[in-house]
Structures are given as structure tokens and as C-alpha cells.
Chains A and B, each alone.
Chain A
């Protein structure tokens, strides 16, 4: 069974800092990997999706990379802002099911 791990569980940084969130998965046979943001009491908002054949995707200040052979993905956030404070989850799609990590809770301090 696919297992997805996100480290650290929580992260606190000062505003303006660049940061990296990590996601690892145990089975490299994935179809794609998706990064989500979840604000307290809300649903998940899709940030970036990387196909298994891709190495990275970018959207604004966000850059997600994928190394399928090593079972790793990173989400890079440039010039962090207080509005980036949220929980970030990654999910891998195996072709018939999504497996989620437990998330990294990010706090950006003004």
C-alpha cells in the first residue's frame, strides 16, 4: 500500500523567507502528484499538479518538483507572506486512488 509522509509536521518562518515543504511516497508507480492548501475549517484548494512524466510545475511564487525514482516531491514557496499560512498537503494518484500525507502546518510571522 502506498504511504505518503510529510515532514516537518509544522513550520514557522518570518515573512519574506523562502521555504521548502517535503513530501515522500513509498511506491514510485504513480500517475501524478498534487499539492493542496487547506485553510482552517475549509476544504482543500489545488495548488499544483505534476504528471509522473514531469519534473516540476510552477505557479506564481510556488514551484513543485517531482523525483519519482526516489519517491520525493518538494513544494518551494518564494518570498513567503502571512497569507501563505495554512496546512499544505500532498497527494499521489496511483491510477485509481489518491493517497494523502498528513500535511505541514505553515505559519508565516509578519
Chain B
């Protein structure tokens, strides 16, 4: 079974430029999460989708960040314009909420460097 797929793995951009990250969750998983992880810290939730609905986006900086999950499968996270402080690892995870375990599985992440 394929795991959570993310692309690109690395991205270097100049500040004020736009950037987009893509995530394909595990097949059949109805819940998708985008996290931000700074060095030495645990992941922090940006947005959570259940199917195609964003059910928790309270931590998403909506002035510059946006996300979509069309058809309730893969998802895109966008930053426009990027700032220096956005340099971090962006992690995508998925789970099957409603099952007994609700175990979360992560992709490899996208390391963003804003110059």
C-alpha cells in the first residue's frame, strides 16, 4: 500500500514569491491534515479536512495561506506571498476517522526555504 505522497520534497524561493505544495493521502483515508513543523518543535496543525470540507482551519494564516482538497482526495497548500518566517517543513498526514484506531500517517514533508 502506498503511503502519503508529497511534492516537492524541497523548495527554495525568494520572499514575496508564491509557492504551492501537493499531497496525495493514503487511498480511502477521509481525513487529511496539513502541519507546519519548525526545527526542534512538534508539528502544528494548519488545516484539517474531512473529505472535501475544511473542518478546522483556525490556525491557518488566511491572509497569505490557502488550501483546497478537491473531490476529497489530494490537496494543495499555497502561500502567497511567502515571507522569511515561512521557512519550515510542511507535513501532510491522513487518517481514516470513524474507524476504531484513527491512526495518523505522515508523508515525508516539503522543506521550504524562503530567502
Q: Give chain A's interface residues, CB within 8 Å of chain B.
A: 4, 31-32, 34, 36, 41-46, 49, 51, 89, 91, 93, 96-98, 100-103
Contact A103 B56 (CB under 8 A): no
Please state if A44 and B33 are interface contacts (CB–CB under 8 Å): no
The residue in chain A whose Cβ has the minimal distance to the Cβ of B93 is A44
Q: Are A96 and B56 in contact (CB under 8 A)?
A: yes
Name A101's closest neighbour in chain B (CB-CB).
Answer: B42
- Which of B12-20, B70-78, B96-104 lies at the interface? B96-104
**One of A31, A89, A96 near B42 (C-beta < 8 A):** A89
| Contact pick for A42, options B40, B56, B108, CB 8 Å | B108
Decide if B91 is an interface residue (CB 8 Å cutoff): yes
Query: In the complex, are the beta carbons of A49 and B101 less than 8 A apart?
Result: yes
